[in-house]
Every structure is written in C-alpha cells, then in structure tokens.
Amino acid sequence: MSRIAFVNGKYISHATAYVHVEDRGYQFADGVYEVSAVWKGKIIDENLHFQRLKRSLQELSISMPMPINALKIISREIIRRNRITDGILYLQISRGVAPREHEFPKQSDQSVVMTARPIDWPEDLKSTGEEVITVDDIRWKRRDIKSISLLPNILAKQKAAAVNAYESWLIDEEGLITEGSSSNAWIVDDQNRIITRDLSENILGGVTRLTLIRLASENGLEVIERPFSISEAKNASEAFLTSTTSFIKGVRSIDGKTIRNGAVGPITAKLHKLYIQHCQTFETN
Ligand code: PDD
C-alpha cells in the first residue's frame, strides 16, 4: 500500500509530497511541528498536542491555518488513508512560501503538512534501560516552542548514536540538565521522589511529561519539578526519559556511570504501567 501525505489542502502520494523551495520552513526553519502517538487508532493526548501547537504558533506570530477541528478531521483522514492502527502522526506548519527575506512576509499562506507511519509501540518496558550521554545544551533560549529548527538537537542525538547510546541529556551553563535531545529527563531520589525540570523557556513542555505528572500524582507518587545536576542524576536511585515516541524508557547509565546496577527501578516500572493504562483507556473526543 502506498503512503499518503496531506500537503496544503490535498491528499497526495507520499513519494511525491513536496513543499516549495521558497517555503520559509525549508529556508529558515520558520515553523512548528507536533508528533503524536496513534495507539489502536486513537490519537493519544490529542487535545494536549493541539494546545501546544496553538501556543507554539502564537509565540511565533504564525496564524492558525484552520480551526483545530479541521486539523482533527485531517488527522483522522491521514490515519485512515494510511491504514494506521499503531503509529506516529506528524504535523508541520510553516509560515508559508514567500521570497527569501528575513522579516515576515506581508502575506503568505501557512504550509500545512501531515504524514503518518506505522510503528510497534513498546508495551513492555525493557528491564535493562538505555544508555545516555551528556552534552552541552547549545540551543536557543525558547525551547518551549516546538520549532522545526532542530539542528542542536540532531547534533546531540548524533553524538549519542556515535557511541551507541540512546539519548543525549543536555547540560546548561550551570551544569544542570535541561532535557534530552528529543525527550524529557527524569530522576528518582532515595525517597522515591520523582524529579523533572520545571517548565520554563528552558525546556519543551512534553505532553508525555504533563500526562505522567498527572498520573503520578493521582497514584500517590510525589513529583518535584526542579532542575537537577549531572552528578545528582548520576547518583540517582532511578533515571528515565519520556517522549511521545519513546513512552517511558529506563536509563541504565549516564556517561558510563551505572544507575541502580543497570536495572530499571520500581518507580520507572510503575510509571510505565500507568502510562500504558492511560493509552489503553484513553478516549478521543
Ligand atoms: N520530541 N523535549 C524535546 C526536545 C523533544 O523534542 C520532545 C519530543 C520532548 C518530549 O515531548 P513529548 O512528550 O510531547 O513528545 C521533550 C518528538 C517526539 C520528536 O521530535 O520526534
């Protein structure tokens, strides 16, 4: 079956789905995106993704190209046309096509692209966890915007890939961990308190992060939103990461320093279970 993409109002073959060479997304990374998980046909936390999309667009003064309900209809159509049961839905909106001048064009229609591809979701938590390395956070100062400008993120991820690690955790000027190159970073202290960096312009407010904080609190687990250092992370009783595509993954080591004998800890396992239950019982509206 050939894949289908939505590009600027049309459903077309993925193989020939292009945007214009003067699209500002292509030339300036002047756009935003969302990645959502499709679980048994449902778009997990769909409204939270659209809320974040709206906010990202607002922060860049890009108008919403159409109402959220219209984007929802296209999402469902892309999932249907690609026959996705479990998969990833990708949405990108750029400021549109205009002659290459840095300032905003007086008039441009936003480019809207949506794609979907199948994926097998990690319903079972790997008992051994993933390796993480740390690298300097060289990104801009508005990481709360889900911008398509991801050069520092891909450089950081590539550094991890080069040493067969799963993720890079990014370190700010004060030696504190902001987040991963494409995920949020978490630790658990010796009193089973769950710690993740507080929301600010320093990190992306992950949808998985938000949902997990809610699930943890509802289930009697304490979550503290505050920065933590590399050494605190390396000496933590558990460490894990979260994202739409990774769900919850245990961290076995940070820069080669083993966390908890390399075995995924009970709090990570509990949170993973809660998140899977959330996906199983999630209702799209
Ligand atoms: N990345 N931080 C960064 C820098 C991210 O790129 C992501 C997600 C997250 C986690 O956010 P969420 O839980 O909403 O997925 C945190 C996506 C998956 C990506 O770029 O593919």
Q: Do residue 140 and residue 196 come from a single domain? A: yes
Q: Do residue 110 and residue 170 come from a single domain? A: no
Domain boundary among 95, 118, 141: 118
CA of 202 to the centre of ligand 1 (A): 14
Ligand 1 touching residue 82 (CB < 6 A): no
Q: Do residue 27 and residue 109 come from a single domain? A: yes
List per-residue pLDDT tens for the chain, 285 residues long: 679 999 999 999 999 999 999 999 999 999 999 999 999 999 999 999 999 999 999 999 999 999 999 999 999 999 999 999 999 999 999 999 999 999 999 999 999 999 999 999 878 888 899 999 999 999 999 999 999 999 999 999 999 999 999 999 999 999 999 999 999 999 999 999 999 999 999 999 999 999 999 999 999 999 999 999 999 999 999 999 999 999 999 999 999 999 999 999 999 999 999 999 999 999 987
Q: In this structure, what CATH number is given to the domain that contains residue 149?
A: 3.20.10.10
Task: Please give the tally of structural domains in the chain.
Answer: 2
Q: In this structure, what CATH number is given to the domain that contains residue 43?
A: 3.30.470.10
Q: Do residue 94 and residue 176 come from a single domain? A: no
User: Would residue 114 count as lying in a domain?
Assistant: yes
Q: Do residue 36 and residue 114 come from a single domain? A: yes
User: Would residue 8 count as lying in a domain?
Assistant: yes
- pLDDT value for 247: 95
User: Would residue 185 count as lying in a domain?
Assistant: yes
Q: How many CA atoms within 13 Å lie on the side-chain side of 97?
A: 8
Q: Do residue 264 and residue 155 come from a single domain? A: yes
Amino acid in the structure at residue 156: A
Q: Do residue 273 and residue 141 come from a single domain? A: yes
Work out which ligand 1 atom sits closest to the CA atom of 143: 4
Catalytic residues: 146
Q: Do residue 110 and residue 136 come from a single domain? A: no
Pairing verdict, β 194-196 and 184-188: antiparallel
Ligand 1 touching residue 184 (CB < 6 A): yes
User: Would residue 9 count as lying in a domain?
Assistant: yes
**Residue 33 phi, psi (nearest 5):** -150, 165
**Residue 174 phi, psi (nearest 5):** -95, 10
- Of 252, 242, 148, 156, give the one whose Cα is nearest residue 195: 242
Work out which ligand 1 atom sits closest to the CA atom of 181: 4
Q: Residue 275: which domain range?
A: 130-281
What pTM, to 2 d.p., does this model score? Answer: 0.97
User: Would residue 274 count as lying in a domain?
Assistant: yes
